[in-house]
A and B are shown apart, each in its own frame.
Chain A
Amino acid sequence: MIDAVELCKNFRDKKRGDIHAVENVSFTCKPGEIYGLLGANGAGKTTTLRILATILAPSSGTANVAGFDVVREPQKVRAHVGFLSTATALYDRLTAVETVEYFGQLFGLDSATIARRTNELFKALDMEEFRDRRCAKLSTGMKQKVSIARTLIHDPPVMIFDEPTNGLDVMAARSITDFIRQCRDRGKTVIFSTHVMSEVEKLCDRIGIIHGGKMRAEGTLAEMRQNYRKDSLEEIFVDVSGDTR
């Protein structure tokens, strides 16, 4: 479960002064649901997700993630979240299995659990072949699988994906969207951000359109189509984000 309440994040920039990256963003995402955060570059998606993953602290407002408060209990939140983005790279000089084991240790798992989970994940993701290969020597697709295994080692109830398919080829992107779907099917709470409309249409149960740091529209795809009287999500997106222009 993710429950974001009036999240705000301000930055101070020497040239531009105070920047309101996120302003009063509230939404809820339930277990077994995929929530898509749709927005253009610089809309505030990454900042919102970083707050939910407690990588950044909100300037005001709060969020409850997996039963823990992001402001008061950030470490507990992180222990129950799997966070994956194109910015979360892997250690070149560690092997695939060492990477996954390292994160298992960081998540406080005992060695028996780490060994069991690692074997399960490597089998499920078909990673046995490059188990002992260093990450620097892996292809993009293989790296994605290692990243997925890393985020799943502690079997978190909440998954946060920040533009996970950005820069990936069709096959690698497809494996990610399949994986996101599987997370939902296992009853996990899933939130992911993107600016790719087709991904949202294919995957999301609920959608939030964020623009200029504010949540402009929210609902299911059907609700959005009805409210904006448009079939295409792209048209709806332009309409919603165009409100501010």
Chain B
Amino acid sequence: MSLRNSLIVYRKELRDMLRDKRTIRSMVIIPMVAFPLMFLGIGYIGALSSGEAHREVSPVMVEGGAHSPKVLAALQKFPGIRIVPYQNDARKEVSDKKIRAMVTIPPGFDAAIASGHPEQVSIGYYQEDEKSELARDKLQKFFDDYRDRVAREALVAHGLPASLLEPFSVKAGNVAPPAKVGAAIFGGFIPYLIIIFCFTGAMYPAIDLTAGEKERGTMETILSSPVSRTDLVIGKFLMVVTASIITAVLSLLSVGVSLAWGGRGMMGAAGSSLKIAINPSAVLAVMVLLLPLAVLFAAGLLAVALLAKSYREAQTYVSPLIFIVVTPAIVGTMGIDLNWKTAFVPILNTSLVSKEIIAGTYHWGYMAAIFGMTCVYAALGLAAAVHMFNREDVLFRS
């Protein structure tokens, strides 16, 4: 093996790649332009629709309004709610989004309350519809207040203090440091993005440098030079790793800038009230941990793409691999914890440990084990790529 020869191949491939518009587009332009546009767009539309929902006066139907004229009168005065005349198909009206919610007051409601018999008021709404859920919240608030008022009046009527109703109050507040809150929101998201971009960044160069070369007829040219096939694959592999890392770093920068700039809107009111801080050194640590994963992707993609005779054929081999990468990366963003079982699952382990790092928790034992393990997987991947480059039936498949 000769590092000199590998570096000659690497330098040539780098120059070649920097002149390839297709690679530049996927590696630089898409991450740098698409992300800011995507985040700004989603943020803007999110803020717009959320603002509209909050401003809306919710149309509500009351079934059995005649059973409690008092409730009906109070509801009509309640801000943010508009009572529309009741129709028999109120449920359908909610389902069709013609009204936001419906209230059902049982017969004899006022009399039951006056005599101290508990009764139940029902609120019907459209689950997961933001405007309907807002109407439900307003109605819930109205009835909570109404209930308190009735109870307070009853207490006073019996000569008891109104404070009996609320002997103590409860207040919830965030005590987690901003970095951990940031990690809860982005902790899974950041490693997921880096993993995906490490992979997609490696995809095009890996295909271009293998099946692409076969298709263009330059593979035989380079094989006729005295460079050993191992040196050749190492040079190509270094190039693919470079592309993978550049894409991941640019994407991450782009996402960071986009989120800081306009992405808060995506999280609505919660996002703007939270102070989120993500430690740059944690992101750097994650990048270091992801290095062997980039190596694994580059080697694996080279080995697979080399099997194909043409660029298009290679795409059909490589595209399904994205699911193998995305699935553990997505699972990593869910509520799965890092333990010695999950630490052995490639990609998922890196995703989980990265999440912890971004939260400011450095499990050195896990980190070392996962880094070492991914290095072993990466070495196996590289060995597979070298093996493939030494197989005549793969290089000259007809």
Contacts and interface: CB of A to CB of B under 8 A. Distances in A.
Interface of B: 5, 8-9, 12, 15-16, 19-20, 216-218, 220-228, 392-393, 396
A126 to B, nearest CB: 22
Contacts of B224: 53, 55, 78, 81, 83, 88
A120 interface: no
Contact of A94 (B12, B226, B228): B12
A108 interface: yes
A56 interface: yes
Given A57-B392, A94-B12, A89 B217 contact: yes
Question: In terms of DSSP, what is the predominant structure of the interface of chain B?
Answer: helix
Interface of A: 11-12, 53, 55-57, 75-76, 78-79, 81, 83, 85, 87-94, 98, 102-103, 105-108, 150
Contacts of A53: 224
A76 B226 CA distance: 7
B226 A79 contact: yes
A103 B218 CA distance: 12
Contacts of B220: 55, 85, 87-89
B221 A106 contact: no
Nearest to B395: A55
A75 B221 contact: no
Given A55-B220, A78-B224, A102-B8, A94 B392 contact: no
| 6 A-B pairs with the lowest CB-CB distances in the bound complex, closest first | A89-B217, A83-B224, A79-B226, A88-B221, A106-B225, A78-B226
Nearest to B215: A89
A12, A83, A102, most chain B CB atoms within 10 A: A102
A107 B226 contact: yes
A160 B220 CA distance: 13
A16 to B, nearest CB: 12
B392 A89 contact: no
A146 to B, nearest CB: 11
B1 to A, nearest CB: 11
A78 B222 CA distance: 11
A93 B20 contact: yes
Given A56-B392, A93-B20, A106 B227 contact: yes
Contacts of A83: 224
B223 A89 contact: no
Nearest to B227: A106
A107 B222 CA distance: 11
B392 to A, nearest CB: 6
A89 B223 CA distance: 12
B256 to A, nearest CB: 32
14 contacts: A12-B393, A55-B220, A56-B392, A81-B224, A88-B220, A89-B217, A89-B218, A91-B218, A94-B15, A94-B16, A103-B225, A106-B9, A107-B226, A108-B226
Contact of A90 (B8, B20, B221): B221
